[in-house]
Structure 1
């Protein structure tokens, strides 16, 4: 009862129930189902027996997670190999458990999951960029597109997708409370899960720019209408192995207790 964020549970002679007239106030967080040690509470038709048990012994150590975070790399070299759909489904489903503003869980993942489709998207992107440069419809701020197109036309170098076999685009409804934040958090979850599974990822800002500039790309990958693109990730099996963490300079941390009043 005390863990309910909207305080709609009441208890008396009977087990906990939703207070009269408060049914529509439930935000579906399922805290009541998760927090009850004996699994006595169900909500929205969910059976607590179908949930995974949480035990400290099953969780990774702080040192393990710390190494995972410190050891992450932006991967730009990939094997020419598809990632199995079953593994992808597992990673994406877990990543979508990420928190969202107002608990609305409206983040959508659009996945280019086959190399053949990725090759078509890659060539179409280069064609759209080349045409935009010829027509002068690209702002000067996007000068990198010229380098990208020249590299493709001269050397067939993929400076945008880095020959990654897959692309993941996170989007959310434009009217949602925090579409950019929600999609970024979901992709961060995916990155950590992908890293544990042995995959490499690249936060791909150029892919986001291309998707925003060229409607043909959004249509090609079937991006849902009315969706705001948050960000995109190239990913796949890495063709490079990193053997140690890097050494970033210390970042400033402001401790409020040490701030002069």
Structure 2
């Protein structure tokens, strides 16, 4: 059974066997004609096809298609002599954005970034991460007011997220006059919340990676973003508000990401250096020359 719709153009195939060597499910093999074939598999996942598309991506002659996808429609690998410099720039020029323009990000840009998240690394390629997306500033303002009122009620009763107290709460209130106009969501016009069901695969890692990739995608599009845990911790104290977001209670949520066009733009990257004491190299003594 070929549920993956694995097909080989025998006129293009050169019999290199790369597709067989990169198949994580081990379901491809070279036939007597030195051409790849797929075993009969009846399911997707660990005991079948992983739906990774590695076979399509690795073929040097574009001879393989899978799931009805055409290899010529794939995005090609960038010139590494240029890509490395661009990636370096994106990493050092990412900043947590806490002030935003009061406008929507173009929905076509948002949808494109969300679609790209299908390609992020995840354990066993299980593709379990789900997303709550608020991509309309008016809907976000409605949600912000609901959550903010509830936050103030809790604070009035002396209830704060773990790790916070009245003093730290008041400090964040003070920052609303300068750094952030909204201590709960930083005034972001949009929210993205990655979440994943617990109990299968690598949920915590997958959800964190999803959020991290999305933030970097925002940087590449000139969109400001901020990863927020204060608001996430407060939502844990607001079950009714959390339920509005329709996040299942058995799902892991690592962060809330606010995003939108930045009100203040930066002119250059920062110059942070990783302290050598934070890097451990095991076996150094054993392999001393």
TM bucket, shorter chain: 0.7 to 0.9
Aligned to 1:142: 164
Taking structure 1 as reference, are residues 195 and 256 closer, same or farther at Cα in structure 2, changes over 3 Å only?
A: same
Task: List per-residue Cα deviations over 1:29-73 (Å, max 9, x = no partner).
Answer: 121121112222233x23234641424448843112101111111
Which range moves more in the overlay, 209-218 or 151-160? Answer: 151-160
The answer on whether the counterparts of 1:77 and 1:238 sit within 8 Å (CA) in structure 2 is yes
Are residues 1:10 and 2:29 paired? yes
**Residues 75-98 of structure 1: per-residue CA shift (max 9 Å, x gap):** 111111111211100011112310
* Cα deviation 1:151-200 (Å, max 9, x = unaligned): 69999951121111111101011223222211111111111211111100
* 1:229 has 2:253 as partner: yes
For residues 89 and 140 of structure 1, the distance between their equivalents in structure 2, rounded to whole angstroms, comes to 34
Find 1:245's aligned residue among 269, 272, 280.
269
Q: How many residues are treated as equivalent by the alignment?
A: 259
Give the number of the structure whose residues are more often helix, by fraction: 1
2:39 maps to 1:19: yes
Matched with 1:260 is 285
Please state if 1:193 is matched with 2:217: yes
Q: Equivalent residues in 2 for 1:159-238 (5 A)?
A: 159-224=183-248, 226-238=250-262
What does 1:74-113 correspond to in 2, within 5 Å?
Answer: 74-113=96-135
The CA distance in 2 between the partners of 1:176 and 1:182, in whole Å, is 11
Give the secondary structure class of the aligned counterpart of 2:259: strand
| Cα separation, 2, equivalents of 1:152 and 1:67 | 29
Offset of 1:237 from its aligned partner? Answer: 0.2
1:47 aligned partner: 69
Query: Which one has more relative contact order, counting CA pairs under 8 Å at least 6 apart?
Result: 1
SS of structure 1 residue aligned to 2:88: helix
Distance in 1, matches of 2:37 and 2:244, equals: 48
Structure 2 unaligned segments of length 5 or more: list them.
Answer: 1-19
Kept in 1, the 8 Å contact 2:161–2:237? The answer is no
1:53-68 matches, cutoff 5 A = 53-57=75-79, 60-68=82-90
Deviates more, 1:221-230 or 1:124-133: 221-230
Tell me the secondary structure at the aligned position of residue 64 of structure 2. Answer: coil
TM-score normalised to structure 2 length: 0.78
Q: Where in structure 1 are there 5+ consecutive unaligned residues?
A: none
Distance in 2 separating the partners of 1:152 and 1:254: 38
Contact 2:196/2:252, CA 8 A, preserved across alignment: yes
Contact 1:109 1:168 survives alignment (8 Å): yes
SS at match of 2:217: helix
Give yes or no for contact 1:95–1:187 (8 Å, CA) kept in 2. no
C-alpha contact (below 8 Å) 2:92/2:271 kept by paired residues: no
Report the secondary structure of 1:235's partner residue.
strand
Q: Please, what TM-score do these two structures have when normalized by structure 1?
A: 0.86
